[in-house]
Amino acid sequence: MRPALLGAALGLGALAACVPADEALRLGSVQFTFKVSERTQEGIESSETLDGWSVRFDRVVLGFKTMTIGQVGVADVCSYRGRGAESDVVFDPRFGVVQTFNGLKPVLCPDVGIIFGPPGPETTLGAGVTSKDLVDLATGAPAHAIIEASASRERRPPDPPQVLRIALRFDTARTSSRFGGCRAAARGVRILEGERDEVSVRLAAEHLFRDAISPGAGLRVEAFALADALGDGDGMVTMEELDRIRLNRMPSVGDYSLPNGLSTDTLGDYVRVLYRFSFMFRTEDGLCVGNEPGSESSEASLPDD
């Protein structure tokens, strides 16, 4: 494998990034920009869920190490890894983060991946986060993602709306941290001479509310409300409460089953699997698929439609 740091540069801050006027792209270039889906940015309306809940995302934090570009089994064709081997960044994808690979030889690189991870000694803070976010990822079981949301549902007057806070912390030991097989109309990226391929990678946090593990599944919040009701009933549901409710106690609506078919797994297990399919590549139909937790491989298969 050739040196991994070839021409990689990590830029933070605004979503827009440009090539300096005096930089000549004599070879090729790929620029990856992390964003979020429209629903993650603007929220989910009650008309968009099957049970009448609306959702607003209050906090989105990711621990990002690097993008990878390559071709599995052919190391000499294209094999590039960014600066995550030396440093990483904690950031809010609603504000964006950019990683650019310059000076690449023209070639098709079908295997694009993402590596996340908990913060370490060389971690920097990106846009939209504070040192508290870094501490919250590092404290306890190391984590690489925190997603918090507020959900509400109207009830018949004079009852006030039902309100629920959702706090999800994805620890690295049990959650996908490597994503691969990134594809839209085609897999990966094609490096073209003198051109820059601008690629968006979007976190679609709304996918965590799917009632089945398939791309066309509906969105529901009631399962989270049930987990809180069976827990401490304080109006805030945590991953710990999701881990205490078995899938065989779920409402009859929706699928709520894992690919292994075990109904004794928990709602927390189910949400972690949904996280594997929550990163869109280039388009809304594009996808990067998460690895099995604990696996070094970034290759994974898509769920059935």
- What are the tens digits of pLDDT across the range 38-79? 999 999 999 999 999 999 999 999 999 999 998 887 766 677
pTM > 0.75: yes
**Closest by Cα among 41, 32, 20 to 200:** 32
pLDDT for residue 175 is more than 60: yes
**pLDDT of 228:** 93
pLDDT tens column, 140-155: 999 999 999 999 999 8
pLDDT of residue 82: 62
SS (H, E, C) 63-129: EEEEEEEECCCCCCCCEEECHHHCCCEEECCCCCEEEEEEEECCEEECEEEEEECCCCCCCEECCCC
Q: In the 8-state DSSP scheme, what is residue 264?
A: T
Which pLDDT tens digit goes with each residue over 277-289? 999 999 999 999 9
**Distance, CA of 234 to CA of 227 (rounded, Å):** 11
Q: How many CA atoms lie within 13 A of 62 on its CB side?
A: 27
21 and 187 Cβ atoms separated by less than 8 Å: no
Q: How far from 163 is each of 21, 41, 159, 253, CA to CA, in Å?
A: 51, 20, 12, 21
Mean per-residue pLDDT of the chain = 85
Residues 6+ apart with CB under 8 A from 42: none
Q: CA gyration radius for the chain?
A: 20
Q: How far separated are the first and last CA of the chain, in Å rounded? A: 36
pLDDT digits (tens, 9 = 90+) for 226-243: 999 988 999 999 999 999
φ, ψ dihedrals at 117, nearest 5° = -175, 160
DSSP class of 210: B
Residue 34 has a CB neighbour count (10 Å cut-off) of 25
Task: Give pLDDT, residue 86.
Answer: 54
Token readout for 159 is 């009852």
